[in-house]
Amino acid sequence: MADISLSRVWKRFGSVEVIRDVSLDVGSGELVVFLGPSGSGKTTLLRMIAGLESIDEGALTIDGVRCETLHPGKRNVAMVFQNYALYPHMTVAENMAFGLRNVGVPSSVIRERIDEAARMLEMEALLQRKPAQLSGGQRQRVAIGRAIVKEPKAFLFDEPLSNLDAALRARTRVELAELHQRLKSTMIYVTHDQVEAMTLADRIVILNDCRIEQIGSPMEVYSRPASRFVAGFVGSPA
Ligand code: ADP
C-alpha cells in the first residue's frame, strides 16, 4: 500500500513553474530518494509533502488521508532539515520534547521516548547540552532524534548530510541506513549526491527541470537510464 501518494501535482512561485505534473507513490517502509541538480524542485516537493508549501494543483495522500490543505502538525510526518533547525535556547532534551509537549503527549511518555532515541543514536551524554555546545555531527543527531521521538508515519530528510565533512557524511549515511532497517519506517530523502542516492535508496526519483525524469531502483536508473540526462547524472556507462 502507498504511504505517500502524489497525483498530478503542480506548483508555481509567482509565474515560475517549480513542480510540473508530478505523480508518485511511496510504499510503506520504503526509502525513496529525490535526486537531481540544484533547482530541480526536490526541496519544494518535500516541503509540499510536509505541508510547509501549498500545492497549486493535484492531490496528496498520506496514509490514506487527503492532505493538500491539512496543517503540517496533523500530517504525522517528521522533517529533518539541512541546517538542523534546533532551538538555541533549549537543551537537547527540551528540543526533542518540544513538539510532543505541544500536542499533549504525557511527560512520562516523552521521557521514555527521548531516552530510547538517545540510546539508539548514542547521544545520552548530550541531552543536557545546548546546541551551541555541540559539533555539526552532534547537532544532526539531535535533529534526527527529534524526528524519531515523534514516531512519525514518515521521515522527510532534506539534504541532512550536506553540512558535514566527508568522513562524517559517510559514517552518518551508514547510520541512517541502519536506522531505516531498524525502524522500518517510510523515508523520503532529498540529495544532489549520487553516491548517497545509490547507497541508501530502495528507489530513486530523478528530478530535472521541475519534473520527474525517471523512477527506479538504483540498479535500474544506472543500467537502464531513461534519458541522456539521467545517464549523465548517475554516471551510467556510455
Ligand atoms: P532543489 O531542492 O532541487 O535545489 P528547490 O525545490 O529548492 O530545488 O527549488 C526549485 C525552484 O524553485 C528553483 O528555481 C528555486 O529558485 C525556486 N524556489 C524555491 N523556493 C522558492 C520561493 N520561496 N520563492 C520563489 N522561488 C522559489
Tens of pLDDT along the chain (238 residues)? 569 999 999 999 999 999 999 999 999 999 999 999 999 999 999 999 999 999 999 999 998 899 988 888 888 899 998 888 899 999 999 999 998 988 889 999 999 999 999 998 889 999 999 999 999 889 999 999 999 999 999 999 999 888 888 888 888 899 899 999 988 999 999 999 999 999 999 999 999 999 999 999 999 999 999 999 999 998 877 6
Phi, psi of 76, rounded to the nearest 5 degrees = 60, 35
Q: What does the pLDDT read at residue 2?
A: 61
- Compute the distance between CA of residue 57 and CA of residue 228 in angstroms, rounded to an integer: 29
Q: What does the pLDDT read at residue 102?
A: 82
DSSP helix/strand/coil, 183: helix
Based on its alpha-carbon atoms, the radius of gyration of the chain, rounded to whole angstroms, reads 18
Cα of 16 from ligand 1 centre, angstroms: 10
| 143-165: b (≥16 Cβ within 10 Å) or e | bbbbbbbbebbbbbbbbbbeebe
Cα of 126 from ligand 1 centre, angstroms: 35
Cα of 40 from ligand 1 centre, angstroms: 8
Is the C-alpha dihedral spanning 197, 198, 199, 203 positive or negative?
A: positive
ipTM value greater than 0.90: yes
Exposed / middle / buried, residue 190 (Cβ in 10 Å: 0-12, 13-18, 19+) = buried
- Compute the distance between CA of residue 6 and CA of residue 190 in angstroms, rounded to an integer: 16
**Count of other CB atoms within 10 angstroms of residue 203:** 19
Q: Whose CA is nearest to atom 15 of ligand 1?
A: 39
> Contact at 8 Å (CB) between 96 and 149?
yes
Q: Which three cell numbers stand for residue 90?
A: 533549549
pTM above 0.80, yes or no: yes
Candidates 173, 142, 165; CA nearest to 80 is 142
Cα of 138 from ligand 1 centre, angstroms: 28
Q: Which atom of ligand 1 is nearest to the CA of 158?
A: 2
Amino acid occupying residue 64: G
| 82-119: b (≥16 Cβ within 10 Å) or e | bebebeeeebbbbbbbebbeeeebeeeebeebbeebbe
Phi, psi of 81, rounded to the nearest 5 degrees = -90, 155
Ligand 1 pocket (Cβ < 6 Å) reads: 13, 18, 36, 38-44
Q: Whose CA is nearest to atom 27 of ligand 1?
A: 13
Q: What does the pLDDT read at residue 101?
A: 87
**Count of other CB atoms within 10 angstroms of residue 5:** 18
Enter the DSSP assignment of 89: T
Give, for ligand 1, the residue of 18, 22, 188 to mutate: max count of ligand atoms closer than 8 Å to Cβ: 18
Cα of 129 from ligand 1 centre, angstroms: 34
Cα of 41 from ligand 1 centre, angstroms: 6
Q: What does the pLDDT read at residue 1?
A: 58
